Structure 1
Amino acid sequence: MSAPIFRDPVDDGAADPVVVRRQGTNEWWMFYTNRRPSAEGPKFTWIHGSPIGLAMSVDGGASWHYRGTVEGLDAPGDAPGGNTHWAPEVIYAEGQYHMFLSYITGVPDDWRGITRTITHFTSADMARWERIGPIRLSSQRVIDACVYRCPDGLWRMWYKDESAGSSTWSASSKDLFEWQVEGRVLAGSPYGDPHEGPNVFELGGYYWLIVDEWHGQGVHRSDDARLWKRQGLIGNEPGEDEADRRFVRHADVVAFKDYAVLFYFTHPEWDERSQAAGPPDVAARRTAVHQGRLTVVDGVLVFERDIPAGLGLLA
């Protein structure tokens, strides 16, 4: 139960998954941050220099097959293959696919003082991407975009602003190309819990915003996708499978009529409760992608973690 559904066969560092259906087919594509657990270098070199990995399923998510890494995402003037790609958000909208990628020039060994941008790409087929450019947001240290069309008719982007205490901010757009910063949505340090990886979806008559608090996913509920009320925490208790005993990290949600699928990653070999400073070795850095099921019961988001790996939940 709750065994991994996918591990990157090259670097074994799959993280921050996002799952999207290729229009007109039964193909589900998983894009993910392809961390490098074995990379040499000081401090956090191994987290940087990551390309975006790609896996595919044609059986509703029952099995996933590695398809390599996504090319053509480096900025003009930056050395190809020598940059950092994090946490892609991929959606289909307005007749094409859109990717909102967290981008860092080069391979830093630390994260302090390093510029991060959210960069927009478009594609007709999800295989070849055209760079539109970085989006001007609330600071020069923004990552982890989530984009969703809200009931007011606007597209809204939620993201992490590391310059504002690792809080969640939002920006809105009429067309996905021109964005206006709206302000802070969820407080970070020192006024609240720092967090990252916002994800918004609709299920059971409500809108839901989850964020990675590094000890599970903080859950927030809304009637309009604008004003949010905290509900609690999910993914803080271990799953049954030996490889799913750790905290649920940076998740994506694919929602259907009566349930949703939560895709998340864990560090199966990191004793994160006693080694809070970070993974101490290569084994602890390795990651696995899992799936869970979400339902709404009496207005409460319920997380079912122990889902067999070979069960396809994608309709």
Structure 2
Amino acid sequence: MPGTYTNPVYHDTMADPFVLRHEGHYYAYGTAPAAADGKCFPVLRSPDLIGWEPLGHALVAPGGNDFWAPEVAFNEGRFYMYYSAQGIDGCDHQLRVAVSDRPEGPFLDTGRKLVPDQPFSIDAHPFRDQDGQWYLYYSVDFLELEGDHRVGTGIVVDRMLDMLTLAGEPRLAVRPHADWHLFLKQRSMYGKVYDWHTVEGPAVQRHAGRYYLFYSGGAWERENYGVSYVVADHPLGPFTRPDEGGGALLIRTAPGRVIGPGHNSFTLSPDGTQTWIVYHAWDVARTARRMCIDRMAWQDGRPRTAGPTWDEQPGPA
């Protein structure tokens, strides 16, 4: 019988949580301070998405000084961790890939920069379509106005030639386009000053033959951060905005309860019948971004969740 849970389901820092379901267990990876031995990214294990056992840290750091947003893909017997690192070869955040034979690691960096032509790249999300083709969604910066697009961080998608190599033909998925996507007014970037907007943290779900690209918009430190989505008929797009209009359509701040829920991943319940969103959120005191879960369902062709929740809820089936 399913148990119950109350968010957060893990009480230490676990930002940008990604959950991999593998051989009857769930493995969660997130952004948090490095371990005393220098390893990065805490990794947790759970049988049910509710009770989580720490397994240490997953990545052997390849140098650098800041590490964000790990996601792990399993393919042909190996585990591939996609993440960004700052400070390697004097660079800003750059997407990299590390490999392990076990979901808990240790993951060893391959030495690959996935998008070396970009000065800044973060938030890699590998997605495998039904035909077996892999795609990588990730965030980069845009400095030119175009239509109603704002200057700031947006999401592109590229085909993967193999688990270590992109085709090098990125296509636009979604750029910031709304007031609620504001990260910071008058931000100094690339030698100029901009009203900087952000959409980041891609996560794809296929439903009824269409591809829903969920993203987090706004400023991760503030109340405007939340999750919305765009839709396409193919993983490479073009993606269109839903008719419901602006705002974070899936989860957003619950004033006085939960602040800035976002940067999510998705997984299935143990019996495979339910989709669950895994995300981070600040407590009201803003002491840490902690891992939360809530069930997601489809109503009239649209994704819906009761989250963010903070009281006792029925657990995954």
Same fold, TM-score > 0.5, yes or no: yes
Cα 1:90–1:16 shift into 2, 3 Å: same
| 1:118-158: CA deviation from partner (whole Å, max 9, x where unpaired) | 11111111222232222125512000000102356531111
More strand by share: 2
The Cα shift of 1:189 comes to: 6.6
Q: 1:100 aligns with which of 82, 88, 98?
A: 82
Q: CA deviation at 1:95?
A: 2.3
Q: Distance in 1 between matches of 2:129 and 2:136?
A: 10
Q: 2:305: which partner in 1?
A: 303
Residue 98 of structure 1, CA deviation: 0.9
Q: Secondary structure at the match of 1:229?
A: coil
Specify whether residues 303 and 174 from structure 1 end up closer, same or farther in structure 2 by C-alpha distance, changes over 3 A only: same
Native 8 Å contact 1:5 1:310 kept in 2: no
Partner of 1:161: 140
What is the CA-CA distance between 1:249 and the residue it aligns to?
Answer: 1.6
Q: 1:130 to 1:248 in 2, by over 3 A?
A: same
1:70 pairs, out of 58, 64, 71, with: 58
**Counterparts of residues 269-280 of structure 1 (less than 5 Å):** 269-270=284-285
Q: Tell me what 2:267 maps to.
A: 254
* TM-score, normalised via structure 1 length: 0.75
1:116 aligns with 2:93: yes
Name the residue aligned to 2:221. Answer: none
Q: Is the 8 A contact 1:204 1:295 kept in 2?
A: no
Work out the number of aligned pairs and report it. 267
Identify if the C-alpha distance between structure 1 residues 56 and 66 changes in structure 2 by more than 3 Å, giving closer, same or farther. Answer: same
- For 1:185, the aligned partner's letter is A
Give % identity: 20
| Aligned partners of 2:8 and 2:310 also within 8 Å | no
Q: How does 1:199-214 map to 2 (within 5 A)?
A: 199-214=203-218
Cα distance in 1, alignment partners of residues 117 and 157 from structure 2: 9
- Is this contact kept in 2: 1:137–1:171, CA < 8 A? no
- Work out the CA distance in 2 between the residues paired with 1:171 and 1:137: 14
Does residue 219 of the first structure (1) align with residue 229 of the second (2)?
Answer: yes
Runs of 4+ in 1 over 4 A off after TM superposition: 189-193, 255-258, 307-312
Q: CA deviation at 1:219?
A: 1.4
Q: Following TM superposition, by how much is the alpha carbon of 1:29 offset from its aligned partner in structure 2, in angstroms?
A: 1.0
Q: Distance in 2 between matches of 1:87 and 1:263?
A: 13
Listed as ranges, the gaps of 5+ residues in structure 1 are 37-48, 107-112, 271-283
What residue number does 1:150 align with?
129
Aligned to 2:296: 294
Q: Which moved more, 1:155-164 or 1:185-194?
A: 185-194
Among candidates 125, 135, 152, match of residue 114 of structure 2: 135
Question: In structure 2, what residue type is equivalent to 1:122?
Answer: V
Question: Deviation string for 1:239-288 (max 9, x for gaps)?
Answer: 9xx7x522312111114765311001111125xxxxxxxxxxxxx24122
Unaligned runs of 5+ in 2: 144-151, 182-196, 219-224
TM-score by length of 2: 0.74
Aligned residue in 2 for 1:33: 31
**1:161-180 mapped onto 2 (5 Å cutoff):** 161-162=140-141, 164=143, 165-180=152-167
Q: Alignment partner of 1:162: what SS? A: strand
Q: Secondary structure at the match of 1:125?
A: coil
Q: CA RMSD in A?
A: 3.0
Cα distance in 2 for partners of 1:204, 1:259 equals 15
Q: Give 1:303's aligned amino acid.
A: T
1:250, 1:185 → 2: CA distance?
16
- The match for 2:250 is 234
User: How far 1:163 moved relative to its partner?
Assistant: 5.1
CA contact (8 A) 1:63 1:310 kept: no
* Residues 237 and 99 (structure 1), Cα distance of their counterparts in 2 relative to 1, 3 Å cut: same
Q: Is the 8 A contact 1:50 1:84 kept in 2?
A: no
